[in-house]
Structure 1
Amino acid sequence: MKKTLLLILILLSLQSCNNADAYMVFSEVPDLTMPDNGLRFKEIENYKNYKIVATHFVTDNSELRYILANKKAFIALSKEQPFPEGSILVNIAWSVKNMSTFKEALEADEIQQIDYSIKDSKQFSQNPGNWGYASFEKRNGNYQSSTGGTARCIACHNNAKETDFKFTTYQKMQ
């Protein structure tokens, strides 16, 4: 009986070590919902565990953006394959400031907003590429659902039809 119990404990320990969720770091995101499509900020509560796949500097509002991908999206990007159902890309937009230690350089300062898109052909069959969008802006230190809704996301991403309505390409480390 003791040997059986010990074997079960060992197997459970090994299973938890092999379980990717055992290492997940959850962010504390507010319980906000996009009013026009029902996507929740909590949907990406574990975004800190996603892989950074690209960075962009957007010149019209001087934002540095980090693009993160969940496992499904990361595999598709890294293999240059179409995004499968359940792919999630997160866009973290930061204001920038001059670095105090290297005056010629800019660095991320404060998060301005966190956006995400999710590929879901059931929930977003009416959207181009079956992508749903959410945008959470930071105002006065607190996140709020975007007042602009998702129509502006869809309109902008329509410009990237040839790349499955996404602007991001995987920036491989070489």
Structure 2
Amino acid sequence: MKKIKIIVLLAFILMTSCAKKSNYHLVSKVPDLIMPKNGLKFKEIEDYKNYKIVATHFRTDKNELRYVLVNEIAFKPFTNNEILPEGSKIVKIGWKVKKMSNFGVALESDSLQRIEYMIKDSKRFKDNPGNWGYARFVKENNKYKSWGKGTVSCIACHNLSKGNNFVFTKYQKVF
């Protein structure tokens, strides 16, 4: 019995040490940019590649396909259409689209237009509806820059979706 306990303990130690060395956790090298006025940093979502895709939508006015991702804190509440807790982060990645060269009736992503995110933080954004802070980083000439117009338009627009956690897109279930 003692040998079994030692083997189980050694297996556990081996598994946890291998997990720490895993490269599954991806970190993006995002520029060191800050949103004017609210101070949100692009670096706050450097691990966005580890978030889960929960939805997509298409903005016809911008000819843009958007992927919507959420962090681990937001995932379960988002998928269950529950109130999103403190620390929730939602990232939108917007791609301009073009016709596929080898399948003309389909569209595919072309160039990255923007990465936006919102974070629920009642200390930093206590005066914003739902305690959400917003950031937008646009890509022009292969460089990112902070959206210079601030977040007043983000707040006004997201107020239209007050009844859905100030989020427009709902979880898109496959099954």
- Output the TM-score relative to the length of structure 2: 0.89
- CA shift, 1:15, in A, is 2.2
Three-state SS of the structure 2 residue aligned to 1:104 is: strand
- CA shift, 1:17, in A, is 4.4
Give distance in 2, aligned partners of 1:140 and 1:116: 21
- CA shift, 1:20, in A, is 10
Three-state SS of the structure 2 residue aligned to 1:23 is: coil
Give distance in 2, aligned partners of 1:100 and 1:51: 29
Give distance in 2, aligned partners of 1:38 and 1:118: 12
Tell me the residue number matched to 1:49.
50
Contact 1:16 1:22 in 2 (8 A): no
Q: Unaligned regions of 5+ residues in structure 2, if any? A: 1-7
- CA shift, 1:61, in A, is 1.1
The answer to whether residue 145 in structure 2 is matched with residue 159 in structure 1 is: no
Three-state SS of the structure 1 residue aligned to 2:104 is: coil
Contact 2:36 2:148 in 1 (8 A): no
Give distance in 2, aligned partners of 1:16 and 1:76: 31
- CA shift, 1:130, in A, is 0.3
**Could you say if the C-alpha distance between residues 88 and 156 of structure 1 is closer, same or farther in structure 2, counting changes exceeding 3 Å?**
same
Moved more, 32-41 or 72-81: 72-81
Give distance in 2, aligned partners of 1:16 and 1:156: 46
Cα RMSD for the two superposed structures: 2.1
| 1:134-153 map, 5 Å | 134-153=135-154
- Output the TM-score relative to the length of structure 1: 0.90
Determine what percentage of the aligned residue pairs are the same residue: 55
Contact 1:90 1:114 in 2 (8 A): yes
The answer to whether residue 89 in structure 2 is matched with residue 84 in structure 1 is: no
**Structure 1, residues 12-49: CA drift from partner, whole Å, max 9, x if none?**
43224456986211111001000110100000001011
- CA shift, 1:100, in A, is 0.9
Tell me the residue number matched to 2:5.
none
Give distance in 1, aligned partners of 2:35 and 2:45: 13
Q: Unaligned regions of 5+ residues in structure 1, if any? A: 1-6
Tell me the residue number matched to 1:94.
95
Tell me the residue number matched to 1:110.
111
Give distance in 1, aligned partners of 2:19 and 2:28: 22
Which of structure 1's runs of 4+ aligned residues deviate more than 6 A?
Answer: none
* Equivalenced residues, count: 169
**Could you say if the C-alpha distance between residues 112 and 41 of structure 1 is closer, same or farther in structure 2, counting changes exceeding 3 Å?**
same
